[in-house]
């Protein structure tokens, strides 16, 4: 992901990794967005939490972003996340 200007790109990216986004906030800075995603489970086992973390780590690697889990709300079955795009490294071959 190059920037966060287009909310649909963010929705599509999370959908590809099996997350339903409920809301996107503060996406217009270009490199940062605040998100709220649905948690499919009524209660989270350790294995389910690991599976969520694994999908988020895969997303970080394939989309060149950093994901920060801000809050997990099991009462409302949501989690708040921040994403930040990574600077692309420029390599000069000489």
pTM for the model: 0.86
18 φψ region: left (φ > 0), alpha (ψ -120 to 50), beta (else)? left
CATH numeric code, 7-85: 3.30.1360
DSSP class of residue 44 equals -
Tell me which H or E stretch contains 52: helix 46-63
90: pLDDT strictly greater than 60: no
Q: Hey, where are the domains in the chain?
A: 7-85
Tokens representing residue 45 in the block = 């086992």
pLDDT in tens, 31-54: 999 999 999 999 999 999 999 999
Q: How far apart are CA 43 and CA 91, in angstroms?
A: 46
């Amino acid at each position: 992901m190059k920037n966060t200007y287009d909310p649909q790109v963010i929705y599509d990216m999370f959908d590809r990794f099996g997350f339903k986004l409920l809301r996107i906030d503060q996406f217009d800075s270009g490199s940062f967005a605040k998100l709220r995603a649905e948690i499919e489970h009524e209660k989270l086992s350790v294995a389910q939490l690991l599976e969520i973390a694994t999908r988020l780590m895969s997303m970080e690697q394939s989309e060149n972003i950093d994901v920060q889990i801000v809050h997990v709300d099991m009462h409302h079955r949501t989690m708040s996340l921040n994403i930040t795009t990574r600077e692309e490294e420029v390599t000069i071959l000489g």
